A = this chain, B = another copy of it.
Amino acid sequence: MATIYEVSKLAGVSLATVSRVINNNTPVREATRIKVLEAMDKLGYHPNSVAQSLASSRSNSIGIVVSELNGPFFGTLLSDIETAFRKAGKHVIIAAGHSDEKLEKESISFLQSRNCDALILHVEAVSDDYLTELADKDVPFVLLNRFVPSLYQRCITLNNQHGGYLATQHLLQLGHTNIGYISGPMWKHDAEQRYNGHLRALAEFAINSSQSVFYEGDYHEKGGADGMTQLLNTDPQITAVVCANDEMAAGAMTAARELGRSLPEQLSVVGFDNVNFSHYMCPKLTTVDYPIGGMGQMASRWVLKNVYQQKLGDIQNVFEPRLIQRDSAAAAK
C-alpha cells in the first residue's frame, strides 16, 4: 500500500501538502493539487484510515448497540443508519446487547475501546444512572427508544403511550368492549407505556379496566400464544386483543385459531411495530407503525451534527406512532 510519503515524492511536493489535498481544508494552489491527485491516482493511493485516526484522534466510526441483530426490527434500523453514515464517509460498528445488563455494558465498553467517535444505543437493561454517568465520560451518545430525563436532548423516542392508545381506541371505535391485552415485559419502559396508553383509551370510553384481561408476555411469538390461550380461558367473551408487538400478535393469532376462533370475525387482533412481515400474516395485521427507520436517521443526524459539526436540520426527539389499518381488526357484532 502506497503511503502519503511516496505520493509526496512522486508529486514533488511535501508530505504536508499531500495531507492538505486529502483533507481539503487548507488552500492549495490548483496546479499543485492536480499534481498530487495525479500522483495518488498513479500509485493507487488510499489514505490509511487507521493512521488518520491516530493522528487526528478521530476514528470516523460510530458504534451501534442494538438488542438483537436478527429480527425484522433492527434490520430496518441498521439499514438506515448505515446509509446515512456511509454517505458521510463514516463507518458503523455493531454490537448486540441482547437486552441483558451485563452484555449491554460489555458492548458499550467494547465499542469505547474501539475509539468510536460516537455511540447510538438501543439499550434496555442498563440503568438510567449508568447512562447518566456514561454521559460524563468523553464518548458522546444518543439513546434510541429510551427516555432519561437528565439526558433528554439526546433521546430519540417513540410516543409509546400514544401508540398503545391508538391500538385500543381503534378497537373501541369498532365497537369492542371486552378487550384483552398482551403486554411486553413490564420492566421495559416501552411495554409499560404502551399499556398505559391502552388504559387511557379504556378510561376515555368509560370501560372499567378491571373488566379487561391482562397478560404479561415476552415480546416473542411464544408469549403471544401463551397469552392468547390464557386470556381466552380466563374470559371466553373477549372479542378483541391488543398485542404489544407484532411478534406476539403472530403467536396470539395462531393460538386463537387453534382454539377455534375465526379471525377477524370472532376475534380482532391489533399489533404494534408494523414489522416487515406484518402484512404477510393472515389476516393481514392491523398494527401501530413504529417509524424505526426515521428514528435511526434522526439519531444519525444527531451524531453528524453534534459530533462532526455538520450543519443539518433540527433534531426531532419524539416520534409519533400511527395506526395501520389492515384486516385483523373488524367491527364487533
Residues on A close to B: CB < 8 A?
A: 1, 46-51, 53-54, 59, 61, 68-72, 74-76, 78-79, 82-83, 86, 91-96, 109-110, 112-115, 138, 250, 276-277, 280-282
Tell whether, in the assembled complex, residue B75 and residue A79 are in contact, meaning their CB atoms are under 8 Å apart. Answer: no
Contacts of A79 in B (CB 8 A): 68-70, 96
The 8 closest A-B pairs by CB, nearest first: A277-B277, A69-B79, A70-B75, A70-B79, A50-B53, A282-B282, A250-B280, A69-B78
Tell whether, in the assembled complex, residue A76 and residue B70 are in contact, meaning their CB atoms are under 8 Å apart. Answer: yes
Q: Which of B1, B83, B94 contacts A92 (CB 8 A)?
A: B94
Q: Count identical subunits in the complex.
A: 2
Tell whether, in the assembled complex, residue B75 and residue A74 are in contact, meaning their CB atoms are under 8 Å apart. Answer: yes
CA distance A10 to B250 in the complex (A): 59
Closest approach, in angstroms, between the C-beta of A23 and any C-beta of chain B?
Answer: 14
Beyond A49-B113, A72-B276, A282-B282, 18 extra complex contacts between A and B, CB < 8 Å: A1-B138, A48-B113, A49-B115, A50-B53, A50-B54, A68-B75, A69-B75, A70-B72, A70-B75, A70-B76, A70-B79, A74-B75, A79-B96, A82-B96, A86-B95, A86-B96, A281-B281, A281-B282
Tell whether, in the assembled complex, residue B96 and residue A50 are in contact, meaning their CB atoms are under 8 Å apart. Answer: no
Tell whether, in the assembled complex, residue A49 and residue B114 are in contact, meaning their CB atoms are under 8 Å apart. Answer: yes
